[in-house]
Amino acid sequence: MSGINPFEVAKQQIDACAKIINLPPNVTTMLKTPMRELHVSLPVKMDDGSVKVFQGFRVQYNDARGPAKGGIRFHPDETIDTVRALSSWMTWKTALLDLPLGGGKGGVICNPKELSNSELERLSRAYIRAIYQFVGPERDVPAPDVYTTPQIMAWMMDEYSAIAGKTQFGVITGKPLALGGSPGRGDATARGGMITIREAANTFGIDLSKATVAIQGYGNAGYHAARLCKELFGSKIIAVCDSKGGVCCTCDDVSGIDPGTAYEYKNTTSSVCNLPGMLQISGDELLELDVDILIPAAVENCITDKNAGKIKAKIIAELSNGPTTPEADDILYKNGVHIIPDFLCNAGGVTVSYFEMVQNFYMHTWTEDEVREKLDNKMTSAYHSVLETSKEYKINMRQAAYVRAVERVVEAMKLRGWI
Amino acid sequence: MKTQEVLTDIYRSGLPQLDYLLQGLLPGDNVVLQVDHLGDYPYFAGAFIEQSIKDGHKCVYLSFAAHSPILKPVKGLEIIRIDPSPGFDYFSAEVHRIIKEHGRKCCYVFDSLSDLVDEWATDELLANFFQVTCPYLFQIDAIAYFALRRGQHGNSAISRIRETTQILIDIFCVEKNTYIQPLKVSGRYSGQMFLPHLITADIWVPVTRSGDAARLLSSAVKQPLSIRNESIAPWDSVYRKLLEHYETGNISEGDQISDLKEALSRMLIGNHKKLVELSNRYLTLANLLQIRQRVIGSGRIGGKSAGMLLARGVLNSTKGNFDYSNILEEHDSFYIGSDVFFTFLVNNDLFLDRLELNKKGSLSWDEFNKLEQRFLEGSFKDEILEQLRDMIDYYGQAPIIVRSSSLLEDGFTDAFAGKYRSEFCANQGSPESRLNELLKAIKLVYASALNPDALAYRKKRGFSEGDEQMAILVQRVSGIPYRQYFLPALAGVAFSRNLFAWTGRIDSQKGMLRLVFGMGTRAVNRVSGDYPRMIAVSHPTLRPETATEISKYSQRMVDVIDISDNDFKTITFDKISTDFDFPSIDLFVSDVSDGFVKDWLVKPARDMKNILVLTFNNLINQTDMVEIMGDILNRLEKAWEQPVDIEFTAYVDSDKNVKINLLQCRSLHVPSLGGVCVSIPKIMPKEQVLFRSDRAINAGMVDNIGYIVYIDPKIYAEIPDIETKKTIGRVIGKLNKILAGRENKVMLIGPGRWGSTNIELGVNVGYADIDNTSVLVEVAREKAGQRPEVSYGTHFFQDLIESNILYLPVYPDDEKSDFNSDFFRSSENVLLKLLPDMAKFEKYIKAIDVPLSANGALAKVIADPQNRNAICVIDRSGLSNINK
């Protein structure tokens, strides 16, 4: 995002949305302004005995619909505007999924690569001490994000609990299973995406048991997507790739790529690109394959105005963040490619985070099947609400997702009497 | 084939009696005079030269010994002095050069060959010298006189000389009379030729009566049977004397013992001042005698062996935080002496090829493959084969490694990192098959002395004519058997200075480790898609990756010896990790859960389906491993008085005690980050910037860059066939050679990792393909899949540092890189002007003539030593000067 202020981008998106649904200017202004921000200084004792002061933030962008929800980032290039932008997007994401949550985000300017484990622990605990009054199970519930891990969430929960004098699992999500984490979190993002694909396929009359799928990116999300496509729908995975290259199965290969074999191969060799028995292709070639479903699950801006016209997929399910540029969006829309936009398609993660909160409230653990069933309900409902909005306003799915989310936030603000 | 049957071209010896005795000298005759007293030699040599001058022949006296001159300066005689002290290789090359320069039918007198043994310590090299020089003289119809002092050389040497020369004559004294007795005269015969003759002023009288002959020969100094003739060359005599002192307990450090000990040390270890000093200080007489007893053949043990032994000596004899007698694993290595290498070359007609190649300094890989085949077809002398057989018997079926240990390798200024070969021998099967495997390994190591990378490196470093003999270190492979494999638990390289300080917190003075599981080959080679653990000694738990990146950038492949297949293999780690039963595996691995790494607190049950990743986190946190390595590096750097790097293997016992096997220690060439005073201009017009980098590892300024060879990462990634990709490296090599002679410097810019074994990740080049470049740029375009990884600590990295090649990684997708895509896209491609027959590669390789593309300006790279930032710009300053 270097060079472009992400918060300016976020505000432009709200403006565009406000235009579609004719929001009054004062409401638009409110939506473009974070409700609360906390800037903290965090003195941390380093291993060599010195004290280093870190800067941290927590932004609660909008909590009209409920406690703020959003991750904590540990990044050397963190800025308040990045945190603001990300917290606004969390607001729309939770609203789109109809979760009783607002949007928030936090960050600490630090480079975890320069910190030992014990320093990282002290920093995590210092951050929680500094924002203790600001967050809480009913106020603002953080989660892992860039360079923060389940282990860091565990330290933070422990610190919050120590100050509160009681165990407070619900203060944070993304915890390890042994400390109030939710079953089903591992593949939540991919599974949520699969549910939206299923709904889209039903809508457009695509038989997923006969569908072909190409997946760009074979990390955690990409692998689970491939696995679930096969497990849930019986689809044929014809191509996968990662940063080092990709593979495509041959025409006469009836079963396609076995997701487990590809994952194992990647884990042992660091890439899928020489998977035995497959043809080698580049990442760019994968995007242009003649498939039913294309799942970008890796990098931003890989579908651009240069390759959008060559894309032959019927459905693009954006499992990664921001794979399609605005120019490409227009081309794909005109060409009739159905896009399941990122903040709908990959919302399974935040949805299961919400489920984790709920389980923590009740001091209860659901089974994985229960989590999956509830996730299915939420994602199915969200997909159709976006589709209907798209039809209603004759706008593309991405614009529709924004519109639906903003409508819900505005409604809550109105009911609360804020506007 | 030339014969000496034609007697029309007879030369004269200046002594009619000798001419009569030998039936004249023939073109190509090498005349060896074996004398009791060197004083007898000038009589013959002087007469020969005087006559040859009279007869109008070119005459040369090659003087090299410490004894009084054999010949006085006279008109018509050219006297050339050669210093034999640099060694056999240099000396032989010089003599060869002189003979070649003087052409055919020249007359030579050499100083006493016996004096060469004083310099070279062994008869073996003397015989080698004669064996390579004599046939060449014969070939060009020259006549040469040589002298040997009787009784100073072993049978083997004398017999090789006798076999090679055309004429061998004994000169000996009995009761104040001097006798002459030809022992060999090729192609000539007479009834009295081989009788002793009494030399008198007029005639030489043959001793024909049996009684006289018996009386004469039995009272002569010379022994009747050569078998009694024991060498007094220092290699044997010094050892015998020291052993005698040692066995009788008479080893008080008197002057005589000290001198002998140093002499032995010089013969084994070398003459480098620092080596001698370290050896005197840290190696005991017992150490040296042990080394000498394990030398196969004769000669020095080479730099790699010396470094290993000295480092062990340093650690065992200095006091510090650790007692290394409990930490260092014992070693039982053998050393194949450097003389064996030359004997192999000489006996297999490879010496002259080597001489020519060293002069030429380059060779294509195809040519090398043919040459290597000739090495493989070569044979060893029986006595060496016997010793090698003994060694194979000693090791039984334990895997061994045959490592190059050349005289210059691992010296104090030049590392020769990875230039020469090391060969693993699984050492399984019958004794004969194991011996054959060993012989093949030795020959491959010998051949590697001439591989294109080694030649280029030697030429670049000015060693082409130097004395570079190949000794060999044979070591037991350190490790344990596990299933059908044999491997060490841990291996790696360590550096006393840390050039990989990715954060300012890391103390670069405290060194770093590049650690792998299994054989250390994965730590020293630039492997692709696989990552050793980099450990900063000052901050061992820090790593340049975090969160889910840790599992991505970890080691996945393991190098092992497969005992069942008798082969060296690379296998996936899961072949070893699945049962969790490899000793101390809990210290090496972590679990991966949802992409995040979790260290083991206790070893999990065997039936768990964990994904394991090699992090070595518990090793770092729960053992003294890093502290010990830091201490080792610190002590060795102090002893070496300069930064060092080491290779090691290690294991941890059940009580978490660390055991180290130190395999190698050599000086580390550290880039001059501190001494360079450059700064990046704060204001620079954007159109003049070609790119910026923030991870320069060596600093400085490279100006006058006239050529940029650019391979676009995206285009490279899209090259459809592997063969084309493979050939790109060779084309780069050709450009490298063509551009080497140009006035301006060269910068190479290409995708991912130059020199990677995986051509998908970077152009496959060797040192010889890039040695003339001044700046090497690795371009990372994540979308194209390439990612630079400097591979700190690999041989490739050492090459860049030693060759003063500025290395820069550039990330064009990062806006801070200011990557000037327009310049690289729009500049004219001059590839076909440089390599007209390479049209096929024009679309993949862009050769940019910088002045042509930048209105006459050259490019310049400035790398700031303080913050490791670098910038590449079009430098218009030169133009403005011209305009002024």
Confidence (pLDDT) at B6: 41
Collapse the DSSP code of B23 into the 3-class scheme (helix H, G, I; strand E, B; otherwise coil) and give the result: coil
Candidates B563, B510, B516, B518; CA nearest to B538 is B510
A134 and A243 in a common domain: no
Domain assignment present for residue A21? The answer is: no
What is the CATH T-level fold of the domain B488-667, as seen in this structure?
D-amino Acid Aminotransferase; Chain A, domain 1 (3.30.470)
Chain B hits for A283, CB-CB cut-off 8 Å, are: 783, 785
Segments making up each domain of chain B, as ranges: 16-228, 244-477, 488-667, 686-883
Catalytic-role residue among A93, A105, A230, A314: A105
Domain assignment present for residue A262? The answer is: yes
- Supply angle C-alpha B71, B75, B79, rounded to 5: 45
Query: Which helix (H) or strand (E) is A42 found in, with range?
Result: strand A36-45
Average pLDDT taken over every residue of chain A: 93
Is A230 catalytic? The answer is: no
Chain B hits for A116, CB-CB cut-off 8 Å, are: 539, 541-542
B556, B761, B782: residue with CB nearest A299: B782
A325 and A200 in a common domain: yes
Domain assignment present for residue A401? The answer is: no
Domain assignment present for residue A396? The answer is: no
How far is residue A92's CA from residue B26's CA, in Å, rounded to a whole number? 104
Question: Which of A271, A275, A356 would best serve as a mutation to test chain B binding (most B beta carbons within 10 A)?
Answer: A271
pLDDT tens digits, residue range A256-303? 999 999 998 887 777 898 899 899 898 889 999 999 999 999 877 789
DSSP summary character for residue B311: H
Confidence (pLDDT) at B224: 46
How far is residue A283's CA from residue A303's CA, in Å, rounded to a whole number? 11
Confidence (pLDDT) at B120: 87
**Which residues in chain A (146-205) have CB-CB distances under 8 A to chain B?**
146-151, 185-186
How far is residue B68's CA from residue B646's CA, in Å, rounded to a whole number? 47
A198 and A172 in a common domain: no
Q: Rounded to the nearest 5°, which phi and psi values hold at B514? A: -120, 105
Please report, for chain A, how many H helices and E strands are present, in that order.
Answer: 14, 12
Query: Encoding tokens for residue A323?
Result: 């794979």
Give the residues across from B572 on adjacent strands. Answer: B557
A35 to chain B, closest Cα gap in Å: 31
Chain A hits for B502, CB-CB cut-off 8 Å, are: 113
Flag if B816 and A270 touch (Cβ within 8 Å). Answer: no
A197 and A149 in a common domain: no
Domain assignment present for residue A390? The answer is: no
A264 and A206 in a common domain: yes
Q: Would the CA dihedral through B79, B80, B83, B84 be positive or negative?
A: negative
Q: Which of A124, A146, A179 is the last residue of a domain?
A: A179
Q: Residue A328 is part of which domain span?
A: 188-340
Candidates B262, B270, B266, B583; CA nearest to B409 is B270
A297 and A238 in a common domain: yes
Query: Which helix (H) or strand (E) is A383 found in, with range?
Result: helix A368-393
Flag if A299 and B760 touch (Cβ within 8 Å). Answer: no
Residue ranges of chain B whose pLDDT lies below 70: 1-10, 210-231, 251-255, 410-418, 463-467, 526-529, 605-609, 671-679, 695-699, 757-758, 781-795, 798, 802, 865-868, 878-884
Domain assignment present for residue A9? The answer is: no
What is the CATH T-level fold of the domain B244-477, as seen in this structure?
Dna Ligase; domain 1 (3.30.1490)
Candidates A347, A333, A335, A304; CA nearest to A395 is A333
**Which residues in chain B (582-611) have CB-CB distances under 8 A to chain A?**
593-596, 598, 611
Average pLDDT over residues A64-92: 93
Average pLDDT over residues A299-314: 89
How far is residue B468's CA from residue B659's CA, in Å, rounded to a whole number? 34
Confidence (pLDDT) at A2: 42
How far is residue B423's CA from residue B405's CA, in Å, rounded to a whole number? 12
Amino acid at A48: D
Domain assignment present for residue A411? The answer is: no
Nearest chain B alpha carbon to A144: B547
B572 to chain A, closest Cα gap in Å: 6
CB atoms within 10 A of CB A255: 9
Average pLDDT over residues A202-231: 94
B418: left (phi over 0), alpha (psi -120 to 50) or beta: left
The CATH code of the domain at B16-228 is: 3.40.50.300
Q: Is B296 exposed, middle or buried (0-12, 13-18, 19+ CB in 10 A)?
A: buried
B46 within 8 A of B82, measured Cβ to Cβ: no
A240 and A322 in a common domain: yes
A267 and A314 in a common domain: yes
Residue A42 has pLDDT above 50, yes or no: yes
Q: List the CATH number of the domain containing A124.
A: 3.40.50.10860
How far is residue B501's CA from residue B867's CA, in Å, rounded to a whole number? 11
B576 within 8 A of B482, measured Cβ to Cβ: yes
CA B787 vs. chain centroid, Å, equals 32
Query: Encoding tokens for residue B795?
Result: 């041989």
pLDDT tens digits, residue range A338-394? 999 999 999 999 999 999 999 999 999 999 999 999 999 999 999 999 999 999 999
A204 and A267 in a common domain: yes
pLDDT tens digits, residue range B112-136? 999 998 888 888 899 999 999 999 9
Q: List the CATH number of the domain containing A328.
A: 3.40.50.720
A301 and A271 in a common domain: yes
**How far, CA to CA in Å, does B854 sit from each of A312, B584, B842, B879?**
43, 60, 21, 11
Candidates B363, B218, B359, B370; CA nearest to B766 is B363
Q: Which of A157, A179, A201 is the last residue of a domain?
A: A179
A115 and A215 in a common domain: no
The strand order across the sheet containing B485-487 reads B480-482, B485-487, B557-562, B567-572
Confidence (pLDDT) at B279: 92
A346 within 8 A of A320, measured Cβ to Cβ: yes
Size of interface A-B (CB pairs under 8 A): 82
Flag if A116 and B503 touch (Cβ within 8 Å). Answer: no
Confidence (pLDDT) at B757: 64
How many separate domains does chain A show? Answer: 2
Chain A hits for B530, CB-CB cut-off 8 Å, are: 270
Flag if B539 and A112 touch (Cβ within 8 Å). Answer: no
Q: Rounded to 10 degrees, what is the CA torsion of A63, A66, A71, A72?
A: 60
- pTM summary value: 0.78
Candidates B314, B242, B259, B253; CA nearest to B281 is B314
Residue A3 has pLDDT above 70, yes or no: no
Query: Encoding tokens for residue B785?
Result: 């899949």
Q: Rounded to the nearest 5°, which phi and psi values hold at B788? A: -70, 145
Flag if A185 and B594 touch (Cβ within 8 Å). Answer: yes
Please report, for chain B, how many H helices and E strands are present, in that order.
Answer: 31, 34
Flag if B594 and A267 touch (Cβ within 8 Å). Answer: no
Residue A59 has pLDDT above 90, yes or no: yes
A207 and A158 in a common domain: no
B537 within 8 A of B530, measured Cβ to Cβ: no
B545 in contact with A at a CB cutoff of 8 Å? yes
Domain assignment present for residue A225? The answer is: yes
